[in-house]
Amino acid sequence: MTPLMTKRLTIGCSKDELVRIRQFTSDMLEEHSVPDLQAHKLVLAVDEVCANLIIHANDCNPNSHIDFDIEFRPRQIIFTFRDKGEGFDINEYESPSMEELISTRRQGGLGLMLVKRIMDKIEFSTEKNHNICRLIKMYP
């Protein structure tokens, strides 16, 4: 299938870059007339994966980079992250229960739960020395 449109943003692995990736995603979704409430959820899922890659896969090293693509296809939007950090397959991650988070007073663990609930499909692969994470959202 020929993509209708793909846009790319490259960011350094710093938490300060999250604002930029959210703005970029939000602008692209608005340009493609994705309704506000839906767009907000997609921006959130992108932010969560990106924060995870920056903090856990790349230890907030600003010299490491993440290439982020948004591809608009008929009936689906694909968000792709490429990085060279420590590989991590979200599908294999078992989110802790809410009870566990409360009793252990943990702050982390909710992000990937959100991503799984917002996205229709998550793919992870490794090509050469790159990790590739794809988030796929279907729309009518």
Binding site for other proteins (CB under 8 A): 15-16, 18-19, 22, 36-37, 40-41, 43-44, 47-48, 51, 54-55, 98, 101-103, 105-111, 113-114, 117-118
Work out how close the CB of 63 gets to other proteins at its nearest, in angstroms, rounded to a whole number.
Answer: 18
CB-based contact 113:45 (threshold 8 Å): no
Closer residue to other proteins, CB minimum distance, 32 or 40 = 40
| Phi, psi for residue 6 in degrees, rounded to 5 | -130, 135
Closest of 77, 65, 68, 49 to residue 140, by C-alpha: 77
Please, which residues bridge with residue 11 across strands?
66
CB-nearer residue toward other proteins: 20 or 73 = 20
- Nearer Cβ to other proteins (41/73): 41
